[in-house]
Amino acid sequence: MEQIETTQPVGRVPYDVIVVGAGAAGMMAAGTAARSGKRVLLLEKMEKSGRKVRITGKGRCNLTNARPAEEFAGQIRTNAEFFAPAFAEFNNRATIRFFERQGVKLEIERGDRVFPKSGKAWDVANALLDYCVDNGVKIVYNTRVTGIMTLGDRVFGVRYVNKRGFERKEECDRVILTTGGVSYPATGSTGDGYAFAADLGHTVEPLRPSLTPLVSSHPQMKYMSGLLLRNVRAELYIDNEPVREEFGEIGFSERGIEGAVALRMSRDAVDALIDRRRVKIVLDLKPALTDEQLRDRIARERAEMAPTEFFGELLRKLVPKALVMPLAQELDIHSKNYVSKLTDSQIDRLIRTLKGLTLPITDYAPFEFAVTTAGGVRCDEVNPYTMESLKVRGLYLAGEVLDLDANTGGYTLQIAFSTGRLAGMLKK
């Protein structure tokens, strides 16, 4: 849908609720409130709504996950108990029905991840926008909220700066704060909501990137950019103690180590790095084989090769082409060595490396590359059954502004939809 900027003053009409931020949570909250008959004003500082939704999932938008409720709950990394009432009110099945009713055809892919059949994240963002427009939400773009106004312990409106740079205010006794986090700041997520909440007496848990690439000091990393490894097992070690194991895809880019496996590990890795602890990831490139089975496999491959064939050609039978040279250098065995000249100790070293390639983790990618933000407004300062602040009456919070964090795979957007829906119901 074409988004037409509203140029008339925000005031004139008294509103029942003002929603700050037109992202996934904000549009869900605004549309829900308007559908129940409320007069809703949605303020967005960017020139269009849902900018982060439009780029999520590499432009495809993994909007939820179809796992059963009990399995879904296990993917919420922080404050899962707080999230449970919102999910019970509007769960992943409800999300699927919602978008299908909005005309978005969906399909379930590997890992129960749910995507629009079109492969276009815009369809999801536009469906949310349609939900707001069709229910009468007034949306004003290019309008930056600068503060939440209160009288005693109660909200009574917002201050904002309009497109022309003039400061204005809009009075209203209910405000829903859905300003997002600080990841992908180019989309408008610059942490405004955290400052608003803190000014109103809320505690904000330290912010750090989550679902973000990890940076390794391994000398071969520069040769592995663009490499994607499938069906690998990865184990995260902190101070040489294993803390997390994952199975699936892991990739390498100029940003660092990424892919679903690394992103799921990143929350623990980032926290450990901030605490100056030692972090490493150990990859099992052949998880389906034991050491002995792998030894037999290598022996069979060598037996079928001519004595004058090179070690690099043996590696090519075992790993993707892009990993051959980095692995040869890791093993300190020249790729042009004859396979017939390999020693038993070199074969042992090859097996150990294939079953345990160690990547020291020394840093993490910044918020610009993080899928979401860990930390945020403390959940014990918010009513989990209404999303209303326990400190300021009439203030509701939803989405990434809260200290809710989940694994990759559609869970983060579901948090936005569930909490946004509950906030938009304006329960007391």
Average pLDDT value for the chain: 93
Nearest CA to 371 out of 237, 208, 196, 194 is that of 208
In DSSP terms, which residues pair with 157 in a beta bridge? 149, 171
Task: Tell me how far apart the alpha carbons of residues 64 and 70 are, in angstroms, rounded to a whole number.
Answer: 15
Element (H, E) at 238: strand 228-238
Phi/psi of residue 322, each to 5°? -65, -15
pLDDT exceeds 70 at position 65: yes
The mean pLDDT of 378-400, rounded to a whole number, is 98
pLDDT band at 10 (very low <50, low <70, confident <90, very high): low
State mean pLDDT over 31-38. 98
88-145 residue pLDDT tens: 999 999 999 999 999 999 999 999 999 999 999 999 999 999 999 999 999 999 999 9
In sequence order, which residues have a C-beta less than 8 Å from that of residue 267 and are 6 or more positions away?
77, 210, 211, 374, 405
pLDDT of 428? 75
pTM across the whole model:
0.88
Least confident of 1-5, 200-204, 221-225: 1-5
pLDDT at site 144: 95
Arithmetic mean of pLDDT, 359-385: 95
Average pLDDT over residues 388-416: 96
pLDDT value at 12 more than 60? no
What DSSP line would sit under 45-111, residue for residue?
Answer: SSSSS-HHHHHTTTTT---EE-S-HHHHHTTEEE-HHHHHHHHHHS-HHHHHHHHHHTT--EEEEGG
The DSSP line for 92-130 is HHHHHHHHHHTT--EEEEGGGEEEETT--HHHHHHHHHH
Length of the chain: 428
Q: Per mean pLDDT, which range of 154-158, 188-192, 303-307 is the poorest?
A: 188-192
Specify burial of residue 267 (Cβ count, 10 A radius: 0-12, 13-18, 19+).
buried
Pairwise CA distance, residues 241 & 289, whole Å: 24
φ/ψ (deg, to 5) at 46: -85, 180
Structure-token match 């796992």, residue found: 67
Q: Average pLDDT for residues 339-354, to the nearest whole number? A: 95
pLDDT-derived band at 199, boundaries 50, 70, 90: very high
Q: How confident is the model at residue 359 (pLDDT cuts 50, 70, 90)?
A: very high
Mean pLDDT of 171-192: 88
Q: Residue 182's pLDDT band (boundaries 50, 70, 90)?
A: confident
The predicted pLDDT at position 184 comes to 77
Q: Side by side, which strands form the sheet with 167-171?
A: 144-151, 154-161, 167-171
Q: Is the pLDDT of residue 146 over 80?
A: yes
E-strand spans in 136-221? 138-140, 144-151, 154-161, 167-171, 175-177, 204-210, 214-216
291-325 pLDDT, tens digit each: 999 999 999 999 999 989 999 999 999 999 999 99
pLDDT class of 219 with cuts at 50, 70, 90: very high
Task: Identify the pLDDT of residue 185.
Answer: 77
